């Protein structure tokens, strides 16, 4: 039976990053992938979305004041499809098995599952491990709506793979994925209607931020039907129709379901590996390690884990410690990052420092972030919230253009104490008064 120092389940961005670093440190490493090397979500959703978004931004800039029909006539969509094909081919070439094997990483293209606390099985063979990393990511949730199974509808991955541009797209969902897809296709010239079960889009975000963002999206021509839970989905000659619980009927040529994501954990047989999970995902400690099987870690977008940005910002046991010499051990209890990749882009960072660090030093470094350029890049609104002592609990940013916040995340992680609202306000160097809650 083959034994590895590290086995990595999943070949998405985070899984391959950890595998490469572990192999570079001289460990024996194997990556297990049941679908597509490079990660199904990364190559079928993330890369196409980013590539199409680049072209959609150009279409939006060129179409100021133009009609939706004029945008469609320019055939930006065909330009976007060609760009997607090129970018996906390039990204896939960087993740081929031959590339990984050249780094000393074994690649097993088969579905893996645990058979004991230190063994997995894949392709009819068993493998022992010293450490296992679960990086299987997430997949789109399919809601239980009567009639949906008998109609033609799309998930985000299948929508992004379409060769023809939808005439009228219904987007079912109120979260970040729904809004990202809505703006993307509206900018290519589709008529887009967002249908939500909840009373508001982004119901767990700050109301003022949400209101401003909705206004921006409406200027892109996006229509909203909020507080409209679907009752039944039916097929009709030109597409699909949704009957609402309110009695109204909405018809469109295409329907995409973007109501959230769920973990890809069911096929792993976590119980056989002694790995406990709850409704939020795998139960982990502050280092991304299973609380019940100390051989097992989880990383990336797998529910219950640190975000990819936090993985790079925190002292993670699988990564070189020289990267994190300035980060105080155990300074975080939790770091959470959420983003909505629309224009203007919306980012929220939620930080919980341990009480022992709250009274530490007074320096907060935001290294590499062009702070002086932030206010001049367009509308900018920052919302900070904290506890009674004024310590930062949450930071929300809304501004035109993409937010490059990787350095911001790392710098907040490097802080010697939990920063105060006034410190962050001063470092952001806002010309307008900072709004706080």
> What confidence score (pLDDT) does residue 424 get?
55
CB hemisphere CA count around 81 (13 angstroms):
10
Q: Are 222 and 201 in contact (CB under 8 A)?
A: no
Domain residue limits, the chain: 2-139+262-318, 141-261, 324-436
Give the Cβ contact number of residue 35 at 10 Å.
Answer: 16
What's the helix, strand, coil split of the chain in %, to 5?
30, 30, 40
pLDDT score for 51 = 94
324-436 has which CATH code?
Answer: 3.30.390
DSSP string, 331-354: -EEEEEEEEE-SSSEEEEEEEEE-
C-alpha 256 chain-centroid distance: 18
2-139+262-318 CATH: 3.50.50.60
Sign of CA dihedral 257, 258, 263, 264: positive
Angle at 298 (CA atoms; ends 296, 301), nearest 5 degrees: 165
Picking from 109, 110, 41, the residue whose alpha carbon sits closest to that of residue 262 is 41
pLDDT attached to residue 203: 86
List, in sequence order, every residue forming a beta bridge with 334; answer none if it has no partner. Answer: 352
Which residues, including other chains, have CB under 8 Å from residue 232's CB and lie 6 or more apart? Answer: 145, 146, 147, 242, 243
Determine the pLDDT at residue 343: 81
pLDDT tens digits, one per residue of 100-156: 999 999 999 999 999 999 999 999 999 999 999 998 988 888 889 999 988 889 999
C-alpha radius of gyration, the chain, whole number: 23
Is 413 within 8 Å of 407 (Cβ atoms)? no
Nearest Cα neighbor of 403 from 425, 423, 428 is 428
Q: Are 415 and 314 in contact (CB under 8 A)?
A: no
Nearest CA among 261, 290, 231, 207 for reference residue 40? 261
Which string of DSSP letters, residue by residue, matches 230-282?
Answer: EEEEEEETTEEEEEETTS-EEEESEEEE-S-EEES-GGG-TTTTT--EETTEE
Would you say 232 and 217 are in contact if contact means Cβ atoms under 8 Å apart? no
Structure tokens at 93: 């070439």
Q: Give buried/exposed letters for 395-412 (b at 16+ CB in 10 A, else e).
A: bbbbbeeebebebbbbbb
Q: Tell which residue, 2, 289, 45, has the closest CA to residue 160.
A: 45
List, for residues 281-301, the tens digit of each pLDDT value.
888 876 678 899 999 988 766
Give the separation between CA 384 and CA 396, rounded to whole angstroms: 7
Closest residue by Cα to residue 3 from 112, 109, 110, 119: 119
Where does 151-250 have alpha helices with state H? Answer: 156-160, 176-188, 207-219
Give 87's DSSP letter: H
pLDDT of residue 365: 23
| Residues linked to residue 18 through DSSP beta bridges, in sequence order | none
Does domain 141-261 fall under CATH 3.30.365.10? My reply is no
Same fold, 2-139+262-318 and 141-261: yes
Q: What is the pLDDT tens value at each position of the chain, 437 positions in all?
A: 899 999 999 998 888 888 888 898 889 999 999 988 988 888 999 999 999 999 999 888 887 656 656 655 668 999 999 999 999 999 999 889 999 999 999 999 999 999 999 999 999 999 999 999 998 988 888 889 999 988 889 999 999 999 999 999 999 999 999 999 999 999 999 999 999 999 999 888 777 778 878 888 999 999 999 888 888 999 888 899 999 888 888 999 999 999 988 888 989 999 999 999 887 788 887 667 889 999 998 876 654 444 443 444 333 333 333 323 333 334 444 445 567 888 877 766 555 444 444 333 222 222 212 222 333 333 345 555 555 445 554 555 554 444 344 444 444 444 545 555 555 555 454 333 334 33
156: which 2 tokens? 């985000």
The pLDDT value given to residue 228: 87
| Whole-number pLDDT of residue 408 | 47
Instruction: Please state at what angle helix 47-62 crosses helix 176-188, rounded to 10 degrees.
Output: 50
Angle between helices 176-188 and 207-219 (to 10 degrees): 20
Res 425: pLDDT: 52
């Amino acid at each position: 039976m083959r034994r590895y120092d590290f086995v990595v389940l999943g070949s998405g961005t985070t899984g391959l990053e950890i595998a490469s670093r572990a192999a570079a440190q001289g460990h024996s490493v194997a990556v297990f992938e049941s679908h597509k090397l490079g990660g199904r979500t990364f190559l079928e959703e993330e890369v196409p979305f980013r590539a199409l978004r680049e072209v959609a931004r150009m279409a939006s800039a060129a179409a100021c004041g133009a009609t939706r029909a004029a945008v469609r006539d320019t055939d930006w969509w065909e330009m976007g499809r060609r760009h997607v094909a090129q970018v996906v081919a390039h990204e896939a070439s960087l993740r081929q098995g031959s590339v990984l094997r050249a780094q000393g990483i074994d690649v097993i293209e088969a579905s893996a599952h645990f058979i004991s606390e230190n063994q997995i099985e894949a392709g009819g063979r068993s493998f022992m491990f010293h450490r296992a990393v679960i990086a299987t990511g997430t997949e789109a949730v399919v809601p239980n709506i009567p009639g949906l199974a008998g109609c033609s509808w799309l998930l985000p991955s299948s929508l992004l793979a379409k060769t023809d541009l939808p005439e009228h797209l219904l987007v079912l969902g109120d979260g970040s994925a729904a809004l990202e897809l809505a703006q993307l296709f509206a900018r290519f010239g589709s008529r887009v209607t967002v249908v939500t079960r909840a009373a508001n889009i982004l119901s767990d975000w700050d109301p003022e931020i949400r209101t401003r963002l909705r206004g921006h999206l409406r200027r892109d021509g996006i229509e909203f039907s909020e507080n409209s839970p679907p009752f039944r989905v039916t097929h009709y000659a030109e597409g699909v129709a949704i009957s609402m619980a309110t009695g109204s009927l909405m018809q469109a040529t295409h329907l995409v379901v973007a109501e959230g994501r769920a973990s890809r954990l069911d096929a792993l047989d976590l119980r056989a590996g002694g790995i406990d999970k709850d409704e939020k995902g795998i139960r982990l400690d502050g280092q991304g390690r299973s609380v019940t099987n100390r051989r097992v870690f989880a990383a990336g977008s797998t529910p219950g884990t640190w975000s990819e940005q936090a993985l790079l910002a925190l002292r993670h046991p699988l990564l070189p410690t020289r990267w994190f010499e300035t980060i105080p051990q155990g300074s975080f209890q939790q770091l959470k990052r959420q983003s909505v990749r629309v224009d203007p882009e919306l980012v929220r960072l939620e930080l919980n420092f341990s009480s022992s660090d709250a009274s530490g030093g007074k320096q907060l470094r935001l290294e590499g972030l062009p702070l002086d350029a932030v206010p001049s890049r367009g509308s900018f609104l920052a919302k900070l919230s904290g506890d009674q002592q004024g310590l930062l609990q949450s930071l929300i940013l809304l501004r035109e253009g993409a937010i490059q916040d990787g350095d911001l995340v790392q710098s907040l992680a490097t802080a010697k104490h939990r920063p105060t609202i006034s410190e962050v306000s001063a470092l952001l160097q806002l010309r307008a008064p900072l709004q706080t809650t």
